Amino acid sequence: MVVPRVSTGVERLDEVLRGGLVGEQCYLLSGDPGAGKTILGIEFLCEGARQGESCLYINLGENFDAIRRSAEQFGFSLEDIEFLDLSPTSDRFTEDDTYSIFSPAEVERETFTAAVTAALDGAEFDRIVVDPITQFRHLTPGEHQFRQQLLSFFEYLTANGATVLFTSQETPERSDLDLQFLSDGTLTLDTSGPVRKLEVTKFRSSGFVDGRHTYRITDGGFELYPRFQSEDAPDTFPEETLSSGISELDALLRGGVERKTSVLLTGPSGVGKTTLGTSFIEAAAERGESSAIYLFDETSDTFRKRSAAVGLDIAEMESAESLSITEIDALDISALEFANHVREEVEQQELSTVLIDGVQGYRQSIVDEPEEDLLTELHRLVRYLKSAGVTVFLTSASSAREMGSPTAFNGSYLVDTIILQQHVETGGELTKTVGVLKKRTGDHLRSFREFEITVDGIDVAESPLDGPTALTAAHEPNQGRSDND
Asked whether the predicted pLDDT for residue 246 surpasses 50, the reply is: yes
Q: Of the spans 7-11, 131-135, 360-364, which averages the highest pLDDT?
A: 7-11
| Structure-model confidence comparison of residues 106 and 300, the more confident one | 300
Confidence band (pLDDT; 50, 70, 90) for 159? confident
DSSP secondary structure of 136-150 = GGGGSSSHHHHHHHH
- Which pLDDT value is given to residue 237? 66
Q: Are 136 and 100 in contact (CB under 8 A)?
A: no
- Which pLDDT value is given to residue 483? 47
Distance CA 73, CA 82 (A): 19
DSSP 8: -
Distance CA 76, CA 16 (A): 23
Which of 94-98, 134-138, 279-283, 390-394 is the least confident region? 94-98
Q: Are 309 and 455 in contact (CB under 8 A)?
A: yes
- Which pLDDT value is given to residue 172? 64
Closest CA to 432 of 419, 444, 422: 422
Distance CA 388, CA 381 (A): 11
Query: Rounded mean pLDDT of 465-470?
Result: 63
Query: Rounded mean pLDDT of 306-321?
Result: 96
Strands 163-168 and 185-190: unpaired
Distance CA 240, CA 390 (A): 12
Contacts with 321 (C-beta within 8 Å, 6 or more apart), sequence order: 290
Q: Which long-range contacts (CB under 8 A, 24 or more apart) does 240-244 make?
A: 242/280, 242/283, 242/284, 242/287, 242/391, 243/283, 244/276, 244/279, 244/280, 244/283
Confidence band (pLDDT; 50, 70, 90) for 83? very high
Give the pLDDT confidence of 283-310 residue by residue, as tens digits. 999 999 999 999 998 999 999 999 999 9
Mean pLDDT of the residues in the chain: 86
- Which pLDDT value is given to residue 100? 46
Asked whether the predicted pLDDT for residue 196 surpasses 90, the reply is: yes
DSSP secondary structure of 169-183 = ---SS---HHHHHHS
Q: Are 381 and 339 in contact (CB under 8 A)?
A: yes
How many Cα neighbours within 13 Å face the side chain of 227?
A: 19
Asked whether the predicted pLDDT for residue 311 surpasses 90, the reply is: yes
Q: Which CATH architecture has domain 232-478?
A: 3-Layer(aba) Sandwich (3.40)
Domain boundaries, the chain: 5-227, 232-478
Query: Rounded mean pLDDT of 18-33?
Result: 95
Residue 252 phi/psi, 5-degree rounding, is: -60, -35
CA 79 to chain centre: 32
Asked whether the predicted pLDDT for residue 106 surpasses 70, the reply is: no
CATH class of 5-227: alpha beta
Confidence band (pLDDT; 50, 70, 90) for 231? low
Give the pLDDT confidence of 170-181 residue by residue, as tens digits. 766 667 778 888
DSSP secondary structure of 290-357 = EEEEEESSS-HHHHHHHHHHTT--HHHHHHTTSEEEEE--TTS--HHHHHHHHHHHHHHHTEEEEEEE
Asked whether the predicted pLDDT for residue 485 surpasses 90, the reply is: no
- Which pLDDT value is given to residue 368? 55
Q: Are 133 and 168 in contact (CB under 8 A)?
A: yes
pLDDT over 70 for what percent of the chain? 85
Give whole-number Cα distances, 478 to 301, 404, 485, in Å.
Answer: 40, 12, 10
